[in-house]
Amino acid sequence: MSGLPELMDKNQQDYICRRVVDALLREDVRETVSRGKIVSAADAPWSDPPVRPSYWLAIEHLGDGCLWIPVRPCTFMQEWALYDLPLVWQSSNSYDRLDEISAILALFRQGLDQASAADFTDYARECLTAVEHGVLCAQERQRYFAEVHQGNQGAQFSPHWQERQLHYERLAAFLDHPLYPTARAKLGLSPDDLALYAPEFQRPFQLRWVAAAKAIHFGPEAEASLKDLYPGFADVGLDARLSDNYVLLPVHPLFTQQIMDALAEVNGLQHKLLLAPKPHLEVLPTLSVRTLAVQGKPGLHIKLPMAIRTLGGKNIRTIKPSTIADGHAVQSLLGRIAAQDADIAGRLLLTDESIGAHVNHLPELGYILRRYPAGLEQATVVPVAGLLAATPQGLLVAEELAQVFFAGRLEDFLDAYLEATLRIHLVLWLRYGIALESNQQNTMLVLNTKMPALRLLLKDNDAPRIHGAHLAARWPSLAGFVDGLHDRRIVVDDELPLAQMFTTITLQLNIAVLIEGLAGLGHLTRSQLYGCVRDKIAELLKELAGQGEDTALAHRILLEDDRQYVKYLLTAASLKPKSATGAADVNKFYGKSGPNFLKESL
């Protein structure tokens, strides 16, 4: 047993290395694919290669030598994917095996200016963190599954819907992000922090509290909404008389005195902020890490800023005050649409995120209350991010849901999921000019044994793309929801950004990733499953065109083009600044380089 941690570490190192190399190829980092040369195995310059693919990618512009990457043809998200480790570095007459990501990234760093090279160096450290966190999370997954087996009944059978939801969020946390290669790394969390605050471990903890001078506190309605949860000043170890001039604000336990002092000094808030010595209010981490479920209050979550970075070194998880107002505005817009549109009514649920507060417009001090809709007591709420996660019983979550809610028919579950997902998002795009960033984490399935058996519950809708002119022209009564948006990047002047978001979020992350994972589980092949997706899209586009909607761009981009837009997550979130990519948002940098997997089904 003494070698088990080392073996797990090596497995995690290889796993991260493979994922990163695949992402480097997918995003054509350093023009590896566009400038590289595909060479058949018969033409490779060695007789006894370390691996035996049919093709190698030869890259000669990264330094004084040639990098050989064993590749295989691919039709999902990229044309060429890694066949296996190791890579080979050819210099002079020597051939060196490369199976460590730090050495591979060192090659990619060669020849870059100092700032660009530093991004690769930082990313190499992120890879090491991903390995370390991956080992710890794998160990916790093994422990949790054993605990479930020992108890003979998992939390998915709990009579309390929030416990069922948290169980599926925990399973989702054990499953890695399908495309960002080092999503396992939660930068800023130590191993001890990970065990205390990460959703994989899902341990209860208590919030800390900051007393902020009333003059710099914005959001009195939030305090009123939390009155049943808010502690008194004495409860958190502060003089009760402070309540005359101060307001309490919840903060994550990782918000330290040192962090607060630095914020106060930089922003001129000395003597206006006090960190209370005692914690109060027990919470549990959800898949989102910084969104916390309040113990004993089903359906109430608190979203807090954290000094961590996830899905890339440039993605710090604070809360911009503008997102509080924008999220509420978009939620209100969607609620109005759901109430008036027969294609969406009954299929779409929304969390209420109308309440939030912040201190002096600081993204490091604020929170959002998230309240789930009423009527979920008999429902099971599951994040789309967890559909391919393994269950303690040895199934995938999607299979388990099909057993419970669709009489074991996985194809019926998939059909219900495609109908709800594609109908809602195509109607929003083509009828209203709205594309939501409703990714795997922000989209929840609400399932029950009554009709409808499957609905979508959307949360965190503060970063959509809205074609303002389209909405104003078609639905002038709805345009007012958009007029006051703080983040003007949300409002766009043509339809293409909507198509890009629909393709990269709804189609790829929420549907195609699921298809890839389900292929081979049932009696349907991968091609047949994609055929189901294509047919459903074509059917809905025909229906919407018959109702007078302009479906031309959607039909071309989704069903006719040979290439799809792909979100270059690694490039924009870790390897290049926005000044280099030209993207207004690190999460919305695209290249049109992915093979159109929907055309495979023809």
CATH 1.10.510.40 range(s) for the chain read: 379-595
Q: Range with the lowest mean pLDDT among 61-75, 556-570, 573-587?
A: 573-587
Please report the pLDDT score of residue 485 as a whole number: 92
Nearest residue to 425 via CA among 441, 406, 411, 439: 439
Q: Which residue, 27, 15, 26, 285, is CA-closest to 130?
A: 15
Q: Is the dihedral of CA 215, 221, 351, 283 positive or negative?
A: positive
User: Does residue 229 carry a pLDDT above 90?
Assistant: no
Q: CB neighbours (10 Å) of residue 246?
A: 22
Q: Give the pLDDT score at 7.
A: 58
Q: Check if the beta carbon of residue 304 is closer than 8 Å to that of residue 252.
A: yes
Numbers of helices and strands, H then E, in the chain:
19, 24
Pick the CATH number of 1-152 from 3.60.90, 3.30.310, 1.10.10, 1.10.8: 3.30.310
pLDDT level of residue 586 (50, 70, 90 thresholds): confident
pLDDT in tens, 120-134: 999 999 999 999 999
User: In sequence order, which residues have a C-beta less than 8 Å from that of residue 161 and are 6 or more positions away?
Assistant: 298, 376, 377, 378, 379, 380, 381
List pLDDT tens digits, range 237-283: 999 999 999 999 999 999 999 999 999 999 999 999 999 999 999 99
Task: Please give the structure tokens belonging to residue 18.
Answer: 């493979």
Judge contact between 554 and 499, C-beta under 8 A.
Answer: yes
379-595 CATH: 1.10.510.40
Q: What pLDDT is stored for residue 315 in this prediction? A: 83
Confidence of residue 584 (pLDDT cuts 50, 70, 90): confident
Bridge-based pairing of strands 352-359 and 217-218 is: antiparallel
Which of 380-384, 403-407, 598-602 has the lowest average pLDDT? Answer: 598-602
Residue ranges, comma separated, of all CATH 3.30.310 domains in the chain are 1-152
Residue 418 has pLDDT above 80, yes or no: yes
Whole-number average pLDDT of the chain: 93
For 123, residues 6+ apart whose C-beta sits below 8 A from its C-beta are 105, 182, 313, 574, 575
Nearest CA to 378 out of 356, 404, 355 is that of 404
Confidence of residue 152 (pLDDT cuts 50, 70, 90): low
Tokens matching residue 69: 């990457």
Residue found by looking up tokens 């190192």 in the block? 13
Whole-number pLDDT of residue 48: 85
Overall average pLDDT of the 214-221 stretch: 85
At 285-334, the pLDDT tens digits run 999 999 999 999 999 999 999 989 998 888 888 999 889 999 999 999 99
**What confidence tier does 391 reach under pLDDT thresholds 50, 70, 90?**
very high
> CA-to-CA distance for 526 and 532, rounded, in angstroms?
10
Q: How far apart are CA 433 and CA 427, in angstroms?
A: 9
Tell me the C-alpha to C-alpha distance, in Å, between residue 96 and each of 6, 20, 43, 60, 66. Answer: 23, 19, 18, 15, 11
Percentage of residues in the chain with pLDDT exceeding 70? 97
Interval 13-60: pLDDT, tens: 999 999 999 999 999 999 999 999 999 999 998 888 899 999 999 999
Per-residue pLDDT at 1: 37
pLDDT tens, position by position, 539-564 = 999 999 999 999 999 999 999 999 99
Mean of pLDDT values over 224-241: 88
DSSP tag of 57: E
Displacement of CA 334 from its chain's centroid (Å): 21
Query: In Å, what is the CA distance from 572 to each residue of 26, 92, 112, 317, 409?
Result: 13, 34, 17, 16, 40
- Categorize the per-residue pLDDT at 601 as very low, low, confident or very high, splitting at 50, 70 and 90: low
Contact 166, 154 (CB under 8 A): no
pLDDT for position 503 = 98
Judged against a pLDDT cut of 70, whether residue 577 lies above it is answered with yes
pLDDT for position 2: 41
Residue 371 has pLDDT above 60, yes or no: yes
Q: How high is the pLDDT of residue 546?
A: 97
| Per-residue confidence (pLDDT) for residue 153, from 0 to 100 | 65
State the Cα–Cα distance between residues 457 and 439, nearest whole angstrom. Answer: 12
DSSP secondary structure of 433-470: -EE----TTTEEEEE-SSSSSEEEEE---SS-EEEHHH
Reference 88, options 62, 123, 111; nearest CA is 62
